[in-house]
Chains A and B, each alone.
Chain A
Amino acid sequence: MSTIGLDKTAPRAQSPAPRKADGLKQALTSSWAKHVAGPLVLVIVGLVASGNDYYVHLASAGVIAYILTAAFNIVYGYAGIFNLSIVITYGVGAFTSVYLEVQFGIPFWPSLVIAVAVATVLSVLVAVPTRGLNELFLAIQTLAFALALAEIMVNWHKFSGGTIGVYGIPLPTFFGYQLTGGFLSYYWLAAFFAWLTYELVLRIHLSAMRRKLTALREGPRVLAAVGVSPDSTRLVAFALSGALAGLAGVLFAHFQLVIDLDTFSFTRLVALLLAAILGGGGYFLGPVFGVIAIVVMDELSLATSQAQDLVYGVGILVLVVLTRGGIAGGLDNLVKWIVHRRRPDPVGEPEPEDAESAADADPAAVTEAVTHRLADAVKAVHRDLRVEVREVSVAFGGTTAVNDVSLSFSTGEVIGLIGPNGAGKTTLLNAITGDVRATGSVRLGDDEILGSPPQNLVRSGIGRTFQSPKVIPELTLLENVMLAGDGIGKVGWFRQSLLSPAARRQAVAGRERAMTLLADLALADRAHSRAKDQPYGVLRLVEIARNLMLDPAFLLLDEPGAGLTEFEREEIAATVRALGARDLGVVLVDHNLPLITSACDRVYVLDHGQVIAEGPPAEVFAQQEVISAYLGVPG
Chain B
Amino acid sequence: MISLVVTGLSQAAVLIPLVLAVSLVFRVSGVVNFGAGNFCVFAGAACASWGTHNSGVGVLLTILAGGILGALCYVVAIVPAQRKKVPVIGLTLATLGFGLLLNFLTRTWFGGEPSIVQPWIHGSVSIGSYETSKQRLLVIGLSLLLVIVMWFLFDRTLIGHHLSAVSFDHELAEVYGVRTMRFELLAWVVSSACLVIGGVFQASLGSVSVDVAPTLLVLSLVGAVIGGLGSLFGAVGGAVVAGFVMTFTDQHIAASYHLTSLFVILSLVLLVRPTGLFTFRGTAERV
Contacts and interface: CB of A to CB of B under 8 A. Distances in A.
Interface of A: 82, 129-130, 132-133, 135-137, 139-141, 143-145, 147-148, 151-152, 155, 265-266, 270, 273, 277, 307, 309-310, 312-317, 320-321, 324
A265 B103 contact: no
Interface of B: 32, 76-77, 80-81, 84, 86, 88-94, 96-101, 103-104, 107, 213-215, 217-218, 221-222, 225, 256-260, 262-263, 266-267, 270-271, 274
Secondary structure of the A contact surface, majority rule: helix
B94 A152 contact: no
A148 B101 contact: no
A135 B258 CA distance: 25
Closest 3 CB pairs of A and B: A316-B97, A313-B100, A148-B263
Nearest to B80: A321
Most buried by A among B213, B218, B274: B218
Nearest to A144: B263
A82 B97 contact: no
Contacts of B221: 140, 143-144
Given A137-B225, A144-B218, A266-B214, A313 B98 contact: yes
25 contacts: A129-B270, A132-B274, A133-B274, A135-B88, A135-B89, A136-B92, A141-B270, A144-B218, A144-B266, A151-B256, A151-B258, A152-B257, A152-B260, A270-B96, A270-B100, A273-B93, A273-B96, A277-B93, A310-B100, A310-B104, A313-B97, A313-B104, A320-B91, A320-B97, A321-B84
Contacts of A315: 97
B94 A317 contact: yes
A316 B93 contact: yes
Given A133-B270, A313-B104, A144 B98 contact: no
A28 B263 CA distance: 49
B214 A136 contact: no
Contacts, number: 114
B100 A151 contact: no
A129 B91 CA distance: 25
A320 B222 contact: no
A92 to B, nearest CB: 15
B104 A148 contact: no
Contacts of A309: 100-101, 103-104, 107
Contact of B92 (A129, A139, A312): A139
A71 to B, nearest CB: 18
Given A137-B270, A316-B94, A317-B97, 20 more contacts: A133-B270, A136-B32, A136-B88, A140-B221, A140-B222, A143-B217, A147-B214, A147-B263, A151-B256, A151-B257, A273-B93, A309-B104, A312-B100, A316-B96, A320-B90, A320-B91, A321-B80, A321-B81, A321-B84, A321-B86
Contact of A144 (B32, B100, B104, B259): B259
Most buried by B among A135, A136, A266, A270: A136
Given A310-B104, A317-B97, A140 B225 contact: yes
Contacts of B213: 266
Contacts of A273: 93, 96
B89 A82 contact: yes
A367 B140 CA distance: 76
A100 B225 CA distance: 37
A141 B267 contact: yes
B212 to A, nearest CB: 10
A147 B94 contact: no
B86 A320 contact: yes
Given A133-B270, A136-B88, A144 B257 contact: no
Contacts of A137: 225, 270, 274
Nearest to B37: A266
